[in-house]
Every structure is written in C-alpha cells, then in structure tokens.
Structure 1
Amino acid sequence: MLIKQLVEHARDRTDLPPPYYRNRSVRWAIDLDPQGRPRGNRLIDLSTAEAKAGQILATPYVQRSGTGSLPFLLTDTLQYALAVAKDDSGKQINDAQRRNADFIDLIDRWAKDEPRAAPIATFFHSGAHARLAIPEEATVSDVVAIRTDDGWVHALPSAVGVWGSIVRARKSSGNGNGICLACGEPGPLLDTIPEPVKSGAIPVPGGRGRDAQLVSINKTAQGRGGTIQLANTPICDTCGGRAMSALNALLADPHHHHRGNDNVMTWWLRRPAPIAPLASVRDANPEQVNAIIEQVRLSPARRAAWLDGNAFYAITLSANQSRVVIRDWIDIPLIALCQNIDSWFADHAMTDLWADGPQKVPVWRMAAALGRHGKHGYVKDSAPSGAERDLMAAALHRTALPVKLLARLIQRIRADGHVDLARAALLRLLLIRANPALKETLVDGLNRDSTDPGYVSGRLFAVLEDIQRTALDNINTTIADKYFGAAMGRPLAVLTMLRKNATGHLRRLRGNRRAAGIALDKRLDEVLEKLHHEPPATLDLAGQGQFVLGYHHQRAADRAAARAAAASKSAATESA
C-alpha cells in the first residue's frame, strides 16, 4: 500500500518538517523586540541574489479550498498577516481585513498557553501591524514570518502542537475514530488528506500546475457506494501527515525523482544502499550499472548485506487539474529490481558504428530516438508523449513495451533514413520483449549464422551500399539515401535492382582496386548464401525491424574490422 510505505519511509527520516508544515519561500520577516515593537518599523527582506523568492523555511501549511478564510498560524501571506488588499476597492479592503482578523484570532488561540507569545500579541492588538511600512516591491501573495529574540515563532514546539490540532479539527472525518489502514492503530480518522502534492512537483504541459490532492473524491459518483473523500480509505491524521511530508520531500530531492514532460517518477528504498536504480536506467552510467549487475551475477551467499530484506518503491504521478493521477506503483524486493535492470541492459545492448563491443543506452536517448531526426540530431519534443515513462516502466517491471512504439520507430526510420545506436538498441529491445525466443538469435552484434529473411536482407543492403561507396569516389547520394525506406518494406524489388547495379561496381573494382573488389564480392556471396531463396517480397513490422538490425550489425562489423586492420597495420609499421 502506497500510504503505508510512505509512512514507514517518513519514520526513517530526520529531515522532514513537522506535521502539517511545508518548506516554503518566505520573502519577508517581521522582527519584534521584547516589547512587541517591530525593529525599524518595516519588513525585513529575506531575499538574496541567489534566492530571490526569499528564505526556505518549514512553515504551517494546509491546502485551502473554497472561498472561506482559512489562515495559517503565525506565517502567511501579506493579505492575512498585515491586511494588505489585492487592490484599492472597498470589497478587497474588507476581505483583507476579515482575513487578518481570522489570522489574529488563530494567534490568540496559540498565545493563551505560551508565555513567549507576549510580543506577538502586543504587536497585533496594539495595531502596530497596521502601521508597518510595506515596501513597494512587496506583493499580496508574498509570505511573511514573525521573528523574536526566541527565533522564528512558528517553529516553537507550542506552535507546532497548536497548528496540528487546528488542522486535525479542519480535516477530521465525520466518522470519528477508527482503524487506520496504514498503521493499523485506532485513532481519529481524516476526512481529506491534509497536505497536497506541492505545485510544480508534477510537470504539467504548458504551465507550472498547482497543488494537487493524492486522494480527492468530492462527488458521490466518484466514490464507492456514493461515499466521498476518505470514507472508504480510513487514514489517521498522523499517517496522512507523515505520508505527504515524505512524498513532497522525495519529489523535491533531485536524487530521488525523474521528471518527464507530463509526469514524475519518485523512488526510495526500505533501507539505504550504495546504488541509484533510477539513475542507472535513465543515464546508463557504466559505474552505476556495473555495481548493480555485479550483485546479480553473484551467488546469494556472496551478495552485499544491503540487499537482504531490502525493497524498492517507486510511484509515477501526473496531474489532472488539482488531482494527482497515479500512473504506476512499484513495490518489489531490491534484488528483483536489480535482476530486472540486468535484463534491461542485456536485452538492448548493441554494437555501435564508432566503438568496439556492445554499448548500453540511456533511457532518455531511446525516447529521443522515437522523434524526428534532422541535421542537428533529434528534434526536441518530437518524441511521442509518455515514451520515456513507458520505457522506464518496462525496465523496472521487466515487461514488454507498447506495440505502438515499434510502429512509431519503424515509421521514423523509414521517414528519416537514419539508424544509430539508440534506434538499433531500441529495436532489439522491442523485438525481444515482444518475442523472447528471438533473444537466442537477435544478439548484440552481427549474427553471421542467422537465416531470418528480414535480417539477412538488411545485411545484404549494407554490403551493396559498401560496394557502391568503395567503387565510386566522392559520392554525394548513396543507395541508403534513396532506397533504404523502400527496401525495408519491399526488399525483393529494391535489392534485385541494386544487385544488378552492384555487378558493374564490382567489375570496376576488379580493374582498379582488385583486393577490395575480391573482398566485397566474397562478402556478398557469404550473405547471399544465408538467404537460401530470394529476398522476401514484403516485410511486416517485426521483419522491418530485423532488416534494420541486420543493416546496422553488418555496418558495425565492417567498421570494426576496418579499425582492427588499421591498428594491425600501424603496429606492424611501428615494429619495423
């Protein structure tokens, strides 16, 4: 259960704000002396060149809803704290004064049992707050906090306790006490989750978004049996507050979340471990990946202690207006996750044109490879929405990818005529995850023994292109530029035509570059032997994927052989 795991995570952390507090940017401070007089009779600006919005402080917070006046204790906007109106109209002035009166009433509830509250009570009841100079750059929505010789007053233990009781009274369920689903203990139950997911924590296309509720059932049609809010999800006030504090802290931690265009994934472990699962998949950092794979390959008795009984949790969120949408939830043992990650890299590892050996590809590069390719690389934001989320989910769950991604990738390769490491790796992954039996033959490099018609046709196209390049100097347009997309879908017609042209190219090579001509003729015969018959007339999507991989593998193998020959020649020259 999501709430239960967040509560357990919150118990293990010492950096979370108090219940119903949130880390917020506080722009202004009211600095009071022991007599309740504001020092300098002005607001103190807490902004700096590095933090223009002000100082980050854990302050009282709960989501405001409706049109009523719901002040926060001791720290709020200028509208509440100092009756600053939105404009000069009588309506806005009266509204600001009403909100300020409620703000002061809340302070009085706290002050009656707190000896250190005297300066604050004097400041407001003497009317000094109404005479305080407001800087021109201040806005009605700026947050202001109060400071005395005892420090920030909202951080006093009494303020934390009083604010907690106020929130519980506002958010408690009409059902009274009950058994909490998260902790299993009896106690007062919540009517709604007191703290929302912070605005901006979940990416929203075209804007910053706003506070969003993890659980929001405010219409009878939405709830089971016509019930609303948390009636069917009993959660005590302690667990509700802890869970949301932990979730917001994770979403604010750059090491524990990954943001997409319209979603965010955040993760945590039951116990700390020296690995970063999400980062290893997203960025394919060799050091991080190898640390995970090393543990998987060891026998259970030799594995690190941090794997024993450890678990991995991750949640993917998007937002719909002011509601949170849970896209995915993962709760698995950490060793199982490591095995899934090992399988992910094994299923997509791919030889490259420019480097020796199979390469591991970051998720973000695979997602970008589904977009358009232009003169300067992949066009930003041209990949389908949610592609990176689908890839990440397949990596962590060890599942197949949506079929639509294969169709999309084939369409882009046909349109762009561009095949690189990221596209080849993604193709192999898509084909293997859709048909695991292919893993035996669809390896990370050239499979000279494969007789798959699509794969061998792709190899044949690569050899014919190499023949053309070798025979013709300073060629501007290759056969790949003209015919690659057509050959993917209709290999028989295109390859038959190109083989006729290659006959003339090979004749020319035998005249002026005899050794190269003999080598290419031999390579062509080797590939043709694997076809047994002529190339297929047409290929389906999977067949076109095999064609592309055969083409990429053959080109990568030829370049690796050329690099090896050049290195051998250079070594022989140096030794001579």
Structure 2
Amino acid sequence: MILQALNGYYHRMLDDPNSGMPPYGTSIENISFALVINQEGELQDVEDLRVVEGKKLRPRKMAVPAAEKKASGIKANFLWDSTSYVLGLDSKGNQDRTDKCLKSFIKCVNDNTNSTDLGFNALHMFFENKKWRDLLDRNDWKNICDTNLVFRLDGVAGFIHDRPAARLAWKNVLKHRDVELTGQCLLTGEKSMGLARLHPSIKGVLGSQSSGASIVSFNKGSFESYGKEQSYNSPVSNEAAFNYSTALNYILAHGSQQKITIGGTTIAFWAECASPAEDFFADLFDPPSVTDKKITSEDDQQTTQKIHSLLTAVRDGKRVEDIVPNLDESVQFYLLGLAPNAARLSIRFWETNSLGNLLKKIGRYFDDLSIVRQFDNEPEFPPMWRLLCQTATLGKSENISPVLAGGLARAMLTGTPYPQSLLATVLGRIRAEHDVTYFRAALLKAFLVRNNEQMEVSMSLDPQRKDSPYLLGRLFAVLEKAQEDAIPGTSATIKDRYIGSASATPGLVFHVLLKNSANHIAKLRKDTERTGQAIHYERMIQEIVDGFDIFPKTQTAEQQGLFMVGYYHQRKAFFTKKNQEV
C-alpha cells in the first residue's frame, strides 16, 4: 500500500511540468562542479554550479542518469560521479580503492558509449590523456574535492549526460538490466516485467546514512521466502521501484514542505490528488505563534494568522472551507513516519485517511492539550517538538525518545491513545526538575482525558471538583504559596523537595507539610498587614481538606498526573487573581 501510494504520487507529479519530477532512468542529485573539456579531451575549466542558499553555497539539484546502488562496493554512475570516480582523487586516504573507482568509471564510459558523438569522443580522449592532476594546484581544489561532477563540452550548451546520444546510451543500459529477472510487478500488476534486484536508496531521513538507506531490502537467506530469490520476495519492476523511490526522495528533499522531523522520526505526507493541504500540513505539527515578534513581513503575518484560524476551527469542530478555499476534505491523505535503522529505514507508522478525518483528529489532539497558559506569550497551539522537549533530559531535542516521538505523532494523526510511557516520562521530568510547566500540564491533561475516557479535565481551575488527587495537588499549591508569602525571596520551596513524594505517597508527606504550613501562617498573622492573607490560606486549606476523608498512602501514575494538573491550575489561579486585582 505504501509503495502503491508513492507510485501514484510519482505519476501525478510527473504530469505537472513545473514539478521537476525526474523521468524514469534519472535521479535528482547534488552536483557541485562541471568539468569543461574541449573536443580533444583537454580540461579547459572547472565550472562552479553551486547555488546560494542564505549565506551558504549548496550543490545544485540536477537530473542525471539514475544513481547506482553502491552500498560498500565499487560501482560507477553513468557520466557523473564524485571526484573519487571521475578523477581518482579524494581526501579519504585510500588510494588503492580510489584507483579502482576511477577504473570502474572509465570502464562504464567505454562499455556504454561510442566515438561517433563529439561529447563521447572528447570523454574518451580525456581519460586517455589523464592530465587532470593539475587540479590539485588550484586554489579551490578543497571545494572541488569529494563533490559530484558532471561534464560539459566547451562552447556547447548543456551537459554531456543530456546530449541525445547519452540519453540513448543510458536507455540501452536500462533495457539490458530489465531482462535480467522478469515476473509480475507487485505494484502495477504488469506481467513479464524486469524486476529490481536492488531497490534505489532513500535519502533525507534524519539520522540515516548520507548515501541513503533502503526501505525494501533482503541481505540474508533467512529473510527470503522459501525457494525464492531476493527479487521474488518483493517483486517490483525496475520502473515501479524507480517511481516510488524517486517520489519519496522528492518529498524528503532539502527544503521540501511535505516533511517534518519530530524527535528521531521523519514524517512524509502527500495527497492522492493536488490539495492546498500539502502546503500547510507541516504547520499543524509546528504552528507559528501569533505573538512571535520575529514575524515582521505582512505575508508571514497573514500566513501565521491563517494557520491560527485553521487550528482554532479544527479544534472547535468548525468548518475550514472559509479559511482555506478549495479545500476538498474528501481527498485521500497519506502520512509515513520513518526512522533510521542501520542501513535500512524503519517504518514508525503509516496512516491513510481522508483529509477531513485527519483534520478532525488533529482538532481533537489540540482540544485535549487545551489548558490555561502559564504566561501570555506561550503558544495557544503548542508545537509537538516543544512538547517533546519537555520529556527529554535537559530539554534537549537530541535526548527525545524516538519511540515516544513516533507514538505521540501517531496518536495525533490516528486518534489512538497516547503511549503509556508518556505519563511516566512527564512525571519523571517533573520529579527531576521540580517544575510543572504549561507544556507538561498540557501533556498530562491530554493523556488523562484520552487514555481514560471517563475522565474530564477542565482548562482552568475547577473549585467544584472533588477528586482526591486533584484536591491534593491544589492543597500542595496553597501550602507552597503560603510559604512563599511568609518567607519572601526564599531560594527553595516545598516544591523543590516534596512535589514528587507528595504526589506519589501523600499519606507520608502531607502531615509534615501541614505542620510546616501552620508555622508559615502563624508568621503571616504576626504581621498586621498580612493577617488577611493568613486567614485566606487557612480557609482555603480547610475547604480543600474537607473534600476528602484521608490522605491516601500511595497514588497511581494517573492519580499523580491529576495531582500535577490540580497543582498547576491552583498556581495559575493565584497569579491570575493578582493580575486582575492590579
């Protein structure tokens, strides 16, 4: 199903002349320089093909004869390759291997081209002359070394690999490959097709090998079906293999708007037919904030407001056509979560659904997360990466669990329960850092309302709620606030020492906290200007304690989560009231 959907996307984009989707037999590769040679094969110049992106020079994306699947072996590409193959020069320090790479490239040229074409003839003479070592003396050799090169005939527009003779030669190469192994294609159903022995590599997945990784591969007999060769385990024609891999590489390319990385998971998405959702879907995972002062241009402000309005609509269950015209909610949408796994790619999840259903699930996800913000400049729609950073050690993205990231993304897109590890991870970070942030409170609320369908959690403080864990969290917040007022400027509060144990074993902790609280309130009473505060805290403590019978000895993880939400609600209510009084 995944490969069929990608094959369909390839044909859709191939029909669009502005898409830049390469035709069968080619691939989009990073090309940095062109070797300009004359008809006698003499090197005339090295043309810099790189383009400026921001403040950096990056290789140009160029359609060339499809890259070979090399792995750790030596196999030359047709009429283009790295300096190791084209010149026999690199910085890798293994000249024996580099010499073999050069021989492989020269053999590929000699075996598949003739001397009737001016470009081919110039290439043959270039390799006979072998006068390119002067390149080592060039000032820009460090920039050229280890990059991909193509050839251009001096005084002739275009590159040698684009000449009609080169295209015909490459077509013949592909034709001979297609007859090595034949059978019925798994994707198209066509019979007597040349089957791909090795599928093209997929690039652009964070953490995978820079040369690409396989999404379909067999490298041991134990992985094969009984009595079948490797290609018959996944009988995909050469053309269909090219189509699906080219489509996925197109989606995962640098600068693509159809991918997003969350933790260690790279999510690729596309629609069955053209849809404006492909342009904004990534923003649903990382919504821009309307309060971000860095957004200065009018276009960016309009886009940000549009995304905010769209998210508000899907969260509140409203129609989105008025915000995004021509949005067909019946269009089939595909989402593929990928993660690196040695030389292969691991599929974290695969989701296919109508766009309308996906938007409903995303709306429910943000509704689950809705909770009163600690500070006004915090995002109303928290980006997933910021939520995940709250589960990681030191808040660093590299410490995010890839399994948790994939599970959270899956829950967002499918409406399934959140990973059970989410609750334990958030509680663990709170115990370690003694801080219930807006993002952690939002995650706890989302987990509780989705994974326990009978539970409801309000956005802000609910004074009428009588759940013991919620009341205990509120009580802890009141005791902490009384301490802060009694000892202004204290460097540490009861939160820094007791919040973990108070939530897990309240029966062992709260009697100590209440005893200390009596001292704090007594100190407030001695100050005539703060007697009212003392009375206020005494009343709040009594009202909360009256809501339950005993302090439980222990609480489950879900009860601890509700404790933290109650604590967060009460803390926010304190400061909200203060602001209103001012």
Pick the TM interval, shorter chain: 0.7 to 0.9
Map 1:377-416 to 2 at 5 A.
378-379=395-396, 381-416=398-433
**Residue 564 (structure 1) aligns with:** 580
**Residue 564 (structure 2) aligns with:** 548
Map 1:184-333 to 2 at 5 A.
184-186=189-191, 188-198=193-203, 201-204=204-207, 208-252=209-253, 253-260=255-262, 262-270=264-272, 271-274=274-277, 276-283=280-287, 285=289, 287=305, 288-294=307-313, 297-298=317-318, 305-333=326-354
CA contact (8 A) 1:18 1:160 kept: no
CA distance in 2, matches of 1:503, 1:87: 72
Task: Quote the offset at 1:197 in angstroms.
Answer: 0.9
Map 1:63-462 to 2 at 5 A.
63-65=68-70, 70-82=75-87, 95=100, 98-108=103-113, 117-125=117-125, 129-132=129-132, 134-136=134-136, 137=141, 141-148=146-153, 149-156=156-163, 159-167=166-174, 169-170=176-177, 174=181, 176-178=182-184, 180-186=185-191, 188-198=193-203, 201-204=204-207, 208-252=209-253, 253-260=255-262, 262-270=264-272, 271-274=274-277, 276-283=280-287, 285=289, 287=305, 288-294=307-313, 297-298=317-318, 305-355=326-376, 359-373=380-394, 378-379=395-396, 381-438=398-455, 440=456, 442-462=457-477
Deviations 1:160-207 (A, max 9, x none): 454244235336562x242x3333444523233542113xx2222xx8
Task: Quote the offset at 1:293 in angstroms.
Answer: 4.7
CA distance in 2, matches of 1:478, 1:69: 64
Task: Quote the offset at 1:289 in angstroms.
Answer: 4.8
CA contact (8 A) 1:26 1:57 kept: yes
- Aligned partner of 2:317: which letter? R
Task: Quote the offset at 1:336 in angstroms.
Answer: 0.8
Task: Quote the offset at 1:37 in angstroms.
Answer: 4.8
CA contact (8 A) 1:43 1:134 kept: no
CA distance in 2, matches of 1:86, 1:412: 45
Q: Which runs of 5+ in 2 are unaligned?
A: 14-18, 291-304
**Residue 533 (structure 2) aligns with:** 516
Q: Which runs of 5+ in 1 are unaligned?
A: 567-576
Identical aligned pairs, as a percentage? Answer: 23
Task: Quote the offset at 1:321 in angstroms.
Answer: 2.7
Task: Quote the offset at 1:225 in angstroms.
Answer: 2.6
Instruction: Select which of 24, 27, 31 maps to 1:22.
Output: 27
Residues 301 and 415 of structure 1: CA distance in aligned 2, closer, same or farther (over 3 Å): closer
CA distance in 2, matches of 1:358, 1:86: 47
TM-score (norm 2): 0.84
CA distance in 2, matches of 1:327, 1:318: 7
Task: Quote the offset at 1:101 in angstroms.
Answer: 3.6
**Paired residue total:** 546
CA distance in 2, matches of 1:510, 1:52: 69
CA distance in 2, matches of 1:499, 1:86: 70
**Residue 301 (structure 2) aligns with:** none
Question: Which stretch has the larger CA shift, 347-356 or 81-90?
Answer: 81-90
CA distance in 2, matches of 1:67, 1:555: 59
CA distance in 2, matches of 1:354, 1:86: 52
TM-score (norm 1): 0.85
CA contact (8 A) 1:86 1:92 kept: no
CA distance in 2, matches of 1:329, 1:437: 29
Q: Cα RMSD over matched residues? A: 3.3
